């Protein structure tokens, strides 16, 4: 059982108004990372429905998602697989484009990153509109992975990101 509550994590998340642009309330998770108990507790909460050995790989999204997904992977005795912004991965990739508020973005994964049927858990720091994580899910599906769940430390519920992920369980720890 995690010895940290979601309320304690919520209290440590710093809200930074108007970053990176006017109107955005940026949820800064660095105070959670810097606190040993809260960081470990956040990983406990993000992995609590899974036993070590029941997950083959934890997929993390560039860049803050890597921190939580990599720590979760070691705890679950699973591999770690990065989803990166286009152009960053060195080997052959598969890519998925998705819509941003203005324009488009593309995420990529190595073509051999997940074996067909691999049991995978997607972890990211924050679910906003769901565009990024839905694109990551699409990549995981293209490789034939079995998606167990999509877990987030933070969910901005008013942006309805869950609606884009409804084919799989969505869990979040701190909800705004």
Q: Is 18 left (phi over 0), alpha (psi -120 to 50) or beta?
A: left
Strands 104-110 and 79-85 come out as: antiparallel
In this structure, what token pair is assigned to residue 99?
């819509």
155 lines the binding site for ligand AMP (CB under 6 A): no
SS3 of 128, please? Answer: coil
Q: Which of 145, 161, 165, 174 binds ligand AMP (CB under 6 A)?
A: 161
Catalytic residue flag (residue 119): no
Per-position DSSP letters for 63-85, written without gaps between them: THHHHHHHHHHHHHT-EEEEEEE
**Active-site residue (options: 84, 101, 119, 155):** 101
Map residues 8-37 to x or -, x wherever contact with ligand AMP holds by CB under 6 A: ----------------xxxx----------
Catalytic residue flag (residue 101): yes
56 lines the binding site for ligand AMP (CB under 6 A): no
Output the smallest distance, CB 78 to ligand AMP, in A.
20
61 lines the binding site for ligand AMP (CB under 6 A): yes
How many angstroms separate the CA atoms of 5 and 62, rounded? 26
105-134: which residues touch ligand AMP (CB under 6 A)?
124-133
**Active-site residue (options: 8, 14, 37, 64):** 64
How far is CA 170 from each of CA 22, 73, 133, 151, 164, rounded to the nearest angstrom?
29, 18, 11, 6, 10
Binding segment for ligand AMP among 3-11, 61-69, 89-97, 136-144 (CB under 6 A)? 61-69
64 lines the binding site for ligand AMP (CB under 6 A): yes
Which spans of this chain sit near ligand AMP (rule: CB under 6 A)? 24-27, 61, 64-65, 124-133, 161
């Amino acid at each position: 059982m995690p010895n940290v509550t979601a309320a304690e994590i919520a209290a440590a998340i710093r809200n930074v108004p108007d970053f990176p642009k006017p109107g955005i309330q940026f949820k800064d998770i660095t105070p959670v990372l810097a606190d040993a108990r809260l960081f470990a507790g956040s990983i406990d909460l993000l992995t609590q429905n899974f036993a070590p050995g029941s997950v083959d790989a934890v997929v993390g999204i560039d860049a803050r998602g890597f921190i939580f997904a990599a720590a979760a992977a070691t705890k679950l005795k699973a591999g770690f697989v990065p989803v990166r912004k286009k152009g960053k991965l060195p080997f052959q990739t598969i890519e998925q484009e998705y819509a941003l508020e203005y324009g488009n973005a593309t995420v990529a994964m190595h073509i051999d990153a997940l074996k067909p049927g691999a049991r995978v858990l997607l972890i990211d720091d924050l679910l906003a509109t769901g565009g990024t994580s839905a694109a990551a899910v699409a990549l995981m599906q293209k490789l034939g992975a079995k998606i167990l769940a999509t877990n987030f430390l933070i969910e901005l519920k008013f942006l309805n990101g869950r609606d884009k992920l409804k084919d799989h369980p969505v869990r979040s720890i701190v909800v705004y």
